[in-house]
Chains A and B, each alone.
Chain A
Amino acid sequence: MNAPLPPASARPPGPDEVIHQSLRLRIMAALNPLPAGEMIEFTRLRALVEATDGNLGAHLATLEGAGYVATEKDFVGRKPRTRVVMTPLGRAAFRRHVAYLRSLLDEAAQ
């Protein structure tokens, strides 16, 4: 969140419409501080972003469709487990979106 602002000419043309939705923004913001490639369990992410199973699943499907996150399903013993990871494409898109938001504030302040 503390990256320097891009010059106005380099400002992204608009918000990322996939990320801009409130829960998807929270999901991406929750994943962004994790080290590259680190997965987080679905249940932990659900508690972190304070969403229901169905809601989180639907928004993760949208983010996965855009290539911003990837999910992996496996079993721990007999218990199914779903894990989520932010892709490099998703990380770049999140940074661009944040840069766009900051540029709006920057312009409003001028």
Chain B
Amino acid sequence: MSLSSADAAAALQEAAGMEQRSSRLRGYQSASPHAIIWGVIWAIGYMGNYLAPAWSNAIWIGLVVLGTVGSIVAGVADGRHAVRAEGMIELYIIYAVFVGGTLAVMAPHDVRQVAAFFPLVTAAAYGVIGAFGARRMLVIAGAIAALTLGGFFTIGDLYLPWMAVVGGGGLVLGGLWLRLV
């Protein structure tokens, strides 16, 4: 069998395109369980915050610990093993320091501001990943940011249930979408 350089170029282009697609979908597959876990955490947390405001700190601390453990387990089970698990832990430390530091410095006084801040940071993180070619992450980032800001400026007392249903539910749906080829 002999090939021309045009055949070779076409074959290389086909292979490169498929490798890129496979790699991107593998990344989505890795991100999917984390989005689902944190979507459920948001849904429970915001609804708990609304229904039992006196318990909100305890509820959120418990849920964040649960979500972090769940994400680490999902990361390890994902198949990229130790390196990924370490990366996940670093990611959570960076996220916690950034969010904690910003909240301390900006000192918001309204529970709605705090409720909006976490999803906006999450949307920014998804957006940064999306900007480097993961288009589905960009769509999820846009949806989270739009729902968070839209609700913040238009919905008054029902903002926490809004974030539970639409924010948490949206993140779960986004996570399910990431699993699809």
* Contact of A61 with B by CB under 8 A: no
* Contact of A58 with B by CB under 8 A: no
CB contacts (< 8 Å) of A101 on chain B: these are 3, 8, 11-12, 15
How many Å lie between the Cα of A36 and that of B12 in the bound state? Answer: 22
* Contact of B106 with A by CB under 8 A: no
* Contact of B99 with A by CB under 8 A: no
How many Å lie between the Cα of A1 and that of B13 in the bound state? Answer: 10
CB contacts (< 8 Å) of B16 on chain A: these are 1, 29
| Set B14, B26, B181: member contacting A34, Cβ < 8 A | B26
CB contacts (< 8 Å) of A31 on chain B: these are 22
* Contact of A20 with B by CB under 8 A: yes
CB contacts (< 8 Å) of B15 on chain A: these are 1, 25-26, 28-29, 98, 101
Q: A20-B11, A25-B15, A101-B12 are in contact. Are A33 and B5 (CB under 8 A)?
A: no
Count, chain B residues at interface, CB 8 A: 23
| Set B4, B12, B79, B80: member contacting A98, Cβ < 8 A | B12
* Contact of A66 with B by CB under 8 A: no
How many Å lie between the Cα of A22 and that of B21 in the bound state? Answer: 16
**Contact yes or no, A105 B14, CB < 8 A:** no
Query: Would you give the shortest CB distance from A103 to chain B, in whole angstroms?
Result: 8
Query: Would you give the shortest CB distance from B158 to chain A, in whole angstroms?
Result: 40
Chain A interface, >50% SS class = helix
**Contact yes or no, A32 B14, CB < 8 A:** no
Query: Would you give the shortest CB distance from B170 to chain A, in whole angstroms?
Result: 24
CB contacts (< 8 Å) of B1 on chain A: these are 14-15, 17, 20
Q: Give the interface of A toward B (CB within 8 A).
A: 1, 14-15, 17, 20, 22, 25-26, 28-35, 38, 44, 47-49, 98, 100-102, 104-105, 107-108
Q: List 10 A-B contacts (CB under 8 A).
A: A1-B15, A14-B2, A25-B15, A29-B18, A47-B181, A48-B18, A48-B25, A98-B15, A102-B12, A107-B5
